[in-house]
Every structure is written in structure tokens, then in C-alpha cells.
Amino acid sequence: MSSTEQPFTAQPFTAQPFTTHARKEAFAGAEYPDSAATGLDWRPATASDLDGWAALIARAAAVEHPVWFDKHADLVQVLENSKNDPRTHTVLGTDGDGVPRAYGRLAKNPDGDKAQGMGCVDPGWQRRGIGTAIVAWQERLAVARFAADASPGHAPVQARLRIFNEEGQRGRSALLQRLGYTTVRWYNEMHRSLAVPLPEVPVTEGLELVTLEPSLHEAARLAHNDAFRDHWGSEPRDEESWRFTLEHPLLRPDWSTVVLDPASGEVAGYQLASFDPDTAAERGFTEGYTELLGVRRSYRGRGIAQALLADAMRRFAGSGMDVASLDVDSENPTGALALYMGMGYTAVNRSMSWEKLL
């Protein structure tokens, strides 16, 4: 943890009541995986599971070597998510000693057109059908969730489940393909060395680049929703999900910036950056990571994204980072891939989204 970050303390989760009895019953219909078939006892994840849950994911990551995986702070936010009640949207499989050996979870926005499935199986418990059982649970829950979110008097939209994994996680890819999922999108992880000369890109005249401050958080959220409304798979972020992003302990506010338009008072563009010391130790180099970068439609074509990236590189380099990094949709409609390559970024890893209509 950097010197500018405060220790992250998990707050106790207070369960919120279900909105209706029917809604609770609909989710309850997504029964858990079979204990006899899997050899595990299944139940929702709770705050008391955080350490064991995070340890399970870390064990799987040590074998699969993903670039990113959920850690303790991410799981705290899962339990605090008001749109996806952890009592119905998480499942944890424990062995006879109570040790977590597998988990699954589902996330969906109330008016979203897709659900996202996440999960893993302890390496020592793989190839026993547990991963298949978790995906089947996610599919049942996704169907129930789409039905619960349907407008009164209207038939539910066909459920759509997406699952993300990295190209190197071949076992997961084989499982998803076997279960009828198809790859619908590819993403590139890109790096830019900070040891070579950095670009000089001043902000456009009439605009102002400043460090992100709390007073700008809501304006930045509105700018994000405007910037990403034409991006594949993107959905608007509400106040809660934006707060989760900005309060994450790995976020570096001192590296995060916005471009202001003094004439309108709008945030024209923004760049949110983070640093993960654990990832640095695992990968053998330090990186300033651009979590999100966006420019409002009405301000595109004025070099704002380039100015934000160039400024971020200097902030990263000034803090001793080795590389600047980010991820980009390979088919991004704004031409982001070409923009990043023009700024000196090169692709180093690929990942993909799988999808199935249920």
C-alpha cells in the first residue's frame, strides 16, 4: 500500500430486506450445487468468510496466473452491493473442515441486459464437476434475476450470462466452450515503458487538467456515463458503483485526473489510476494502471485522452513506476486501441468475454 492510501477496514455487512416475498422466492429457486455430487457444503458467503474466500481465490490464481483477481477489498464490496444481495447472489462451497474450496457469484444491474458470472475452484478440487455445477447455478440464478427485474406486465428479457477469463486460463475456456458459451469480445492488456522519453501533450487551450478531488467525483461519474454510452457491454454507473470505484484502497487519487471546461463547468474527460503492490511483487515490475479513461462525446477530437495519458505517465514515473498499463476492448468504437499504440503502448496479454443466452 502506498503512503498516500489509508488502511482499508472491512465494515460489517448489514443485510437489507428483500423488496418482495416473490423476489426472494424467485432467487431461492436457483438451488445450490448438489452437495452429494460435489463433496462440498454450499451456502452464501458472509463477512466471516472474507479471509478464507480471498485465500481460495489466491490459491487458484497461484496456479492459473491471471493478471488480476479479486482480493479482500473487492470481496468486501461484493458483500456491500445493494443491487446483488450476497444472500442470494453468492455461493461458497466448503469441505468437511469448513475450508472454502469453491465459490460463485452473479452480478446484474436491475435494468441491465446481461448478468456477469464470477467464480473459481480450489486447484486440489478441480476436475470433479464443481466448476460445471457453479456455472449451472449461475445460469439458474441469471434466469430468475431477469424474471425478477422484468417490468410489471411485461415478459422478461431473455437472460444473457457473460463470464470473463484470460487467454491463459485454458481450463476455464475449455469448460465454457463445453457448456455452450461462445467468445463475444477480446481485450488487450497494454504496457508502455516509462524508461524511454515520455510524450509531451499539453491540454487543449481553454481546458484545464487538474488532480481529481472529492468535489469532482459526481461530475466525473456523469462524464464517465456519457463517455461510455456508446461502448459495447457498458452500462451506466450509479452512485454506489462509482463510490466503490473511488473508495477502493488501490486507487491512487494523486495519479487520477480530470480535464475541466471552465466555460461549462463540465468534466470533459478523466483518468482514474491505481497501484497494486501485490501484483508488482508477483510480476516483478511496478505499474501505474489506468483503471478508466474517458472523454465526453462533445469533446472528442481535441487531444484530451492523449493529454490525460501523458500526464498519467509523468505521475507514474515520478512515483518510481516501471510501466504504464491499461486494458482496452480490441473493437473499441472510439479508436482507443490505435490511440494507445500511438502513445507507445504495446499489447502483452489477451482476455475475453464468453456469453450464453439462457
Q: So where are the chain's domains?
A: 21-180, 187-350
Residue 19 has pLDDT above 90, yes or no: no
Residue 148 has pLDDT above 90, yes or no: yes
| pLDDT tens-digit series, residues 153-183 | 887 789 999 999 999 999 999 999 999 999 9
| pLDDT tens-digit series, residues 251-279 | 999 999 999 999 999 999 999 999 999 99
Cell numbers given for 150: 422484468
* pLDDT value for 1: 25
Cell numbers given for 9: 477496514
Paired residues of 185 in beta bridges: 353
* pLDDT value for 25: 55
Residue 243 has pLDDT above 50, yes or no: yes
Residue 128 has pLDDT above 50, yes or no: yes
Are 21-180 and 187-350 equal in CATH topology? yes
Among the four given CATH numbers 3.40.630.30, 3.40.1160.10, 3.30.1330.60, 3.40.50.620, the one describing domain 21-180: 3.40.630.30
In angstroms, the CA 158 to CA 162 distance is 13
Is residue 253 within 8 Å of 271, Cβ to Cβ? no
Which pairs with CB-CB distance under 8 Å and at least 24 residues apart come from 221-227?
222/267, 223/258, 223/266, 223/267, 223/268, 223/269, 223/270, 223/294, 223/296, 224/270, 224/292, 224/294, 226/296, 226/297, 227/269, 227/294, 227/295, 227/296, 227/297
Task: Using DSSP bridges, classify how beta strands 208-211 and 257-261 pair: parallel, antiparallel or unpaired.
Answer: antiparallel
* pLDDT value for 7: 25
* pLDDT value for 136: 98
In angstroms, the CA 268 to CA 265 distance is 9
* pLDDT value for 151: 86
The total of other beta-carbon atoms located within 10 Å of residue 195's CB is 8
Question: Which one is predicted more confidently, 172 or 8?
Answer: 172
Question: Which one is predicted more confidently, 1 or 292?
Answer: 292
* pLDDT value for 9: 27
Give the mean pLDDT of 286-297.
97
In angstroms, the CA 131 to CA 176 distance is 10
Is residue 268 within 8 Å of 304, Cβ to Cβ? yes
- CATH number attached to the domain at 187-350: 3.40.630.30
* pLDDT value for 188: 94
| pLDDT tens-digit series, residues 302-312 | 999 999 999 99
Alpha-carbon dihedral of residues 137, 141, 143, 149, nearest 10 degrees?
Answer: -170
Confidence bin at 26 (pLDDT 50/70/90): low
Let me know how long the chain is.
358
* pLDDT value for 334: 63
Lowest-confidence range among 193-197, 326-330, 340-344? 326-330
| pLDDT tens-digit series, residues 175-225 | 999 999 999 999 999 999 999 999 999 999 999 999 999 999 999 999 999
Is residue 141 within 8 Å of 89, Cβ to Cβ? yes
* pLDDT value for 12: 32
Q: Average pLDDT of the chain?
A: 91
